[in-house]
Every structure is written in C-alpha cells, then in structure tokens.
C-alpha cells in the first residue's frame, strides 16, 4: 500500500524545482561582433540570402567576407548592450533558468591566444551576475555554432586534433572564471548537426577533392574527446558542476510498416544518436564500425581516447525538439523541410510556415525513447514555433498559434513525466526574437518578446511583449499546471 502511494505521488506532473526558462545563443542575439576585442567566428561569415547555404554547408573555401552582403550576426538583436533590459523581462516571466552560450572568440579572439581577453570575461561575469540578481540559473553552452575563425584558418577547425587542446583551454577558463555563477554546462550545441551543416555546425569548409565523410567523422571524434575532457575538468573545478551533451532531437518514424522503412528509420536515428551514445555511455556503439566501413572511412583514434570517453560521460542529456521526422525506402515520397535535416512528409502532421512538421506527441515519444536508452536526466533546451507575427493597430501581438504549439508540447512533457521520464527542465527557443539559424531571417520569430527588426536589418530594436508573454508567465507560476 505504502509503495503504491509513493509511486502515485511521483506521477503528479512537473517536479518541484523544475527548471522553466528560455534559450538564446550568443551568435544569434549578441551582435557587437568585433567589440571589446572579440574575434571573427564562423557564424559572422554566413550571410543572409542566396549565398547562405553555400557558406553554411562548407562549400566556400577558403571562407571570406563578401562585400555588399548582409551578415545578420554582426548586430543581431544587440543583446550585448541590452541584456539587462532583456533579463529583467525574463525575470518578470518568472524564468528559473536562462540558456545562452559564450562566444568562444570573446574569450579567445583567435581561439588559441596566449591569454584570455579580460573584456570578454567581464561581459559574461556581468551577464551571469545579472541572472543571479533575479535568481535565474544560467545554462551555458560553450560552443553554439561559432568556432573562432582564427582556428578555422590555422587548423581547418575540428578536422585537426589541435582543436581539442584549444577547446579545453577555453573550457577551463570558463569553468574557473564563472565558477559559482554557472553550474549547468553544455559542451557543443546540436553536436550531430556537423554531419548535416558542416561549416555552421563545426567550422568545416571543404578543400577541393576532399572526402567529406572522412573529414566530418574525424571532426566529430575530436569534438567527442574534447567534450569528455571538458566534462572531466568541470567536475575537477567544482564537483557541483553538471555537464550535458546536446542533440538536435526528433525521431525518424518509418513511413509505413514495410520493414524496409523501419530499417531505414532506425539507421537514420542512429546516425544522430551515435554522438549521444558516446557522450552518455562512454563508448562508440557497436554499429559505429559498420557505419565507418560502409562510408569507407578510417577514423584516427589515439590510444587514450577510448579511455577518456569511457571515464568522463555527461551528467545529463539535453536536446532540441521542433518536429519529428519520417523515413521511407521509396525515393518518390515527397519531402519537407526541418531543423537542418529534411524529412519525408508525414501525412498525419501539419507543418509550420517553414515546413517543419508539428508533432507534440513526438516529443513524448522522443523523451521516452531517450530515457529508455540512456537512463540519465533529460533537459529540453530548445522547442518552439518559428512564425511571422503581426502588430495590431493597438500595438498588441496576438500570437495564439505560438501559445497553442507550446501548450501542446508542455502537455506532452507532462505526460512523459507521468510515463516515468526524469525531465529536469525546459527552455523554449528564442524566448526573445532573434536571428534564425537556418535562414538568417528575423521574420521567423520564436519569442515571447518581439524585437523591432526586419530581414534587411532595419528597425529600432525596441522590445515589446507578445500575448504569449503573460501566458508563459502563468505556466511557470503554476509549475506547468495552468496551460489555458
Ligand atoms: C537549432 C539551433 O538548430 O534550431 C538554434 O540550435 C536554431 O540555433 C534553432 O536557431 C531553430 O532553428 P531556426 O533555423 O528556425 O533558427
């Protein structure tokens, strides 16, 4: 009887202390791209418009700024100068946590400088202290799509082993200097995206005639070792530090029960999960050898590497979730867009205006799947609807479509917790409007807070609350109970 009661108590929705909040990334929000000593990063080289994909995918070599192009990261939403105003608004919504990233090139402008840049450190000290003022726990990504260009030019980015040393030096400085202010860390944002968007994901620009698969998987191995070593250092510096990996999530469903579709969907999932398998379990999964063989690649793994991976797995698993995906062995099936990875169109799902398939139940499925597979705490660090907003005559922004999307996803999280999943937090993506990573648009908005800026870069940057602002405030205040 007693045991039953305990179990019953555990399945009553969001746990106490659940980390509600929102997420942004330095490269999509800060702007001030060369201020206070910051060096150029990969994202600073990616223009809005026609040439965007060419640079993002790593087809431009060597990478150069092009005259006359619009580079959205250079100003972004000017969070660098307006963070106090923005954090105040997050606090008003009741945020318990705020996810952002550190721009590596603010701390090490070239990536491998002798000494860190004190001006960069002081910016983040002030930012994290500002969060602390309101009792907001920062959740910090060390590398969110912004490798210093100095390292791209000198080493060809993550294709080279030297990057491991540069990254852990940078990570150590962050853990030491922000100790006591930051406890939750993520090493690489959407680590699996380097396979699909190599330059934006990992600073890889391909030289002519290079074997792309070889370069990508070698780079991935270097990131995995760097991530494990950073986890080690974080724990040494402060045993209270919690380090997570970060996956671009969303499962592949088989289009039909044809075993060929099921097999394909499983393998497409494995392609992404291989990273998390290594980071969470501490070793390459048994299917990795076959993958490397089929791709005809040879990854250089040094003797100590496997030991490092084994000894320093992550403490928790974080992921982004925008949509589920679908796979079919029949190549004639229609495709739709998604978060970097394209998918077969699922006839049961609606899509956003950008073709991303909307699937709240898919979030419950993903949460259950990841928890079954890894048995480590989960953290949803990105979720939301990119949509066009309209300002009404009275100045209001009635974003009911966003509320509807979030409501259904939060309900799915609650269901997953009731299923037994250990979910520790939720940060919606782009809690304040920011530059879209895929398209470079401002008009693809995710925020509870509107930012006055258009796709061409015009606007006052003024902030304005949307209808969803008060809605999310109520969600947080009720610990996820009031979703109306
Ligand atoms: C994830 C990234 O891929 O999706 C974010 O981690 C990105 O940086 C988000 O912004 C949403 O994608 P988009 O292209 O709509 O900005």
**CB-based contact 38:32 (threshold 8 Å):** yes
**CB-based contact 465:396 (threshold 8 Å):** no
Atom 12 of ligand 1: nearest residue by CA position: 437
CA 437 to ligand 1 centroid distance, Å: 5
For ligand 1, is residue 109 a contact (CB within 6 Å)?
no
Residue position matching structure tokens 């995906």: 325
For ligand 1, is residue 429 a contact (CB within 6 Å)?
yes
Q: In the prediction, which pLDDT does 10 show?
A: 54
* Structural domain includes residue 191: yes
Q: pLDDT per residue over 29-68, tens digit each?
A: 999 999 999 999 999 999 999 999 999 999 999 999 999 9
Of 139, 171, 15, which is closest to residue 431 (Cα–Cα)? 139
Tell me the CATH number at 56: 3.20.20.80
Burial of 213 (C-beta count, 10 Å sphere; 0-12/13-18/19+): middle
Q: pLDDT per residue over 73-124, tens digit each?
A: 999 999 999 999 999 999 999 999 999 999 999 999 999 999 999 999 999 9
CA 140 to ligand 1 centroid distance, Å: 16
For ligand 1, is residue 438 a contact (CB within 6 Å)?
yes
CA 438 to ligand 1 centroid distance, Å: 6
Confidence band for 336, pLDDT divided at 50, 70 and 90: confident
For ligand 1, is residue 190 a contact (CB within 6 Å)?
yes
CA 29 to ligand 1 centroid distance, Å: 12
Residue 247 β-bridge partners: 319
Query: What pTM value is reported for the model?
Result: 0.97
Q: In the prediction, which pLDDT does 339 show?
A: 74
* Structural domain includes residue 329: yes
- The catalytically annotated residue of 382, 392, 393, 481 is 382
* Structural domain includes residue 147: yes
Crossing angle between the packed helical segments 303-311 and 212-237, to the nearest 10 degrees: 50
* Structural domain includes residue 14: no
Distance CA 413, CA 417 (A): 6
* Structural domain includes residue 11: no
For ligand 1, is residue 444 a contact (CB within 6 Å)?
yes
Could you tell me the residue range of the domain that residue 73 belongs to?
19-478
Residue 307 bears catalytic tag = no
* Structural domain includes residue 484: no
- Calculate what percentage of the chain has a pLDDT beyond 90: 95
Q: In the prediction, which pLDDT does 2 show?
A: 59
pLDDT exceeds cutoff 80 at 190? yes
Q: pLDDT per residue over 362-399, tens digit each?
A: 999 999 999 999 999 999 999 999 999 999 999 999 99
CA distance readout (Å), 198 to 54, 60, 159, 246, 442:
11, 11, 11, 16, 23
Residue position matching structure tokens 């500002």: 130
Q: In the prediction, which pLDDT does 337 show?
A: 81
* Structural domain includes residue 137: yes
* Structural domain includes residue 422: yes
Confidence band for 338, pLDDT divided at 50, 70 and 90: confident
Structure token pair of residue 126: 């002030």
Q: Which phi and psi angles does 426 have, rounded to 5°?
A: -150, 120
Ligand 1 closest atom vs CA 25? 8
Q: Indicate the number of domains in the chain.
A: 1
Q: In the prediction, which pLDDT does 379 show?
A: 98
The overall average pLDDT reported for the chain is: 96
């Amino acid at each position: 009887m007693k045991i039953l009661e305990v179990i019953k108590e555990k399945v009553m929705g969001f746990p106490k202390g659940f980390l509600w909040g929102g997420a942004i990334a330095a490269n999509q929000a800060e702007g001030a791209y060369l201020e206070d000593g910051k060096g150029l990063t990969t994202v600073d080289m990616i223009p809005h418009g026609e040439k965007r994909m060419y640079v993002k995918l790593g087809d431009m070599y060597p990478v150069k700024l092009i005259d006359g192009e619009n580079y959205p990261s250079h100003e972004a939403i000017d969070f660098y100068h307006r963070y106090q105003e923005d954090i105040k608004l997050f606090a008003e919504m009741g945020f318990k946590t705020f996810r952002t990233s550190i721009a590596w090139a603010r701390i090490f402008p070239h990536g491998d400088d002798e000494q860190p840049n004190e001006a960069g450190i002081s910016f983040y000290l002030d930012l994290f202290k500002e969060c602390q003022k309101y009792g907001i726990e920062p959740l910090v990504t060390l590398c969110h799509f912004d490798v210093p260009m100095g390292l791209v030019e000198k080493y060809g980015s993550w294709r080279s082993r030297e990057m491991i040393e540069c990254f852990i030096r940078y990570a150590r400085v962050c853990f030491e200097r922000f100790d006591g202010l930051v406890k939750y860390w993520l090493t690489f944002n959407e680590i699996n995206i380097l396979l699909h968007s190599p330059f934006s994901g990992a600073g890889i620009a391909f030289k002519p005639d290079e074997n792309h698969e070889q370069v990508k998987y070698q780079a991935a191995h270097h990131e995995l070792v760097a991530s494990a070593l950073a986890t080690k250092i974080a724990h040494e510096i402060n045993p209270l530090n919690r380090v997570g990996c970060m996956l671009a999530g969303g499962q592949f469903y088989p289009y039909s029960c044809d075993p060929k579709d099921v097999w394909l969907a499983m393998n497409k999932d494995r392609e992404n999960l291989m990273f998390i398998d290594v980071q969470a379990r501490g070793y390459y999964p048994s299917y990795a050898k076959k993958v490397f063989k089929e791709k005809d690649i040879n990854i250089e793994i040094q003797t100590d590497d496997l030991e490092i991976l084994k000894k320093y797995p992550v403490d928790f698993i974080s992921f982004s979730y925008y949509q589920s995906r679908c796979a079919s062995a029949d190549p004639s099936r229609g495709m739709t867009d998604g978060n970097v990875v394209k998918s077969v169109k699922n006839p049961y799902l609606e899509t956003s205006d950008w073709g991303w398939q909307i699937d709240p139940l898919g979030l419950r499925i993903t949460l259950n799947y990841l928890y079954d597979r890894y048995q480590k705490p989960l953290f949803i660090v990105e979720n939301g609807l990119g949509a066009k907003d309209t300002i009404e005559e009275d100045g209001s922004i009635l974003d009911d479509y966003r509320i509807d999307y979030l409501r259904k996803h939060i309900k799915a999280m609650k269901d997953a917790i009731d299923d037994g999943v250990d979910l520790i937090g939720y940060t919606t993506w782009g809690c304040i409007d920011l530059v879209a990573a895929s398209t470079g648009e401002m008009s693809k908005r995710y925020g509870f807070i509107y930012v006055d800026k258009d796709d061409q870069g015009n606007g006052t940057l003024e902030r304005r609350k949307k209808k969803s602002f008060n809605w999310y405030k109520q969600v947080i205040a009720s610990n996820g109970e009031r979703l109306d």
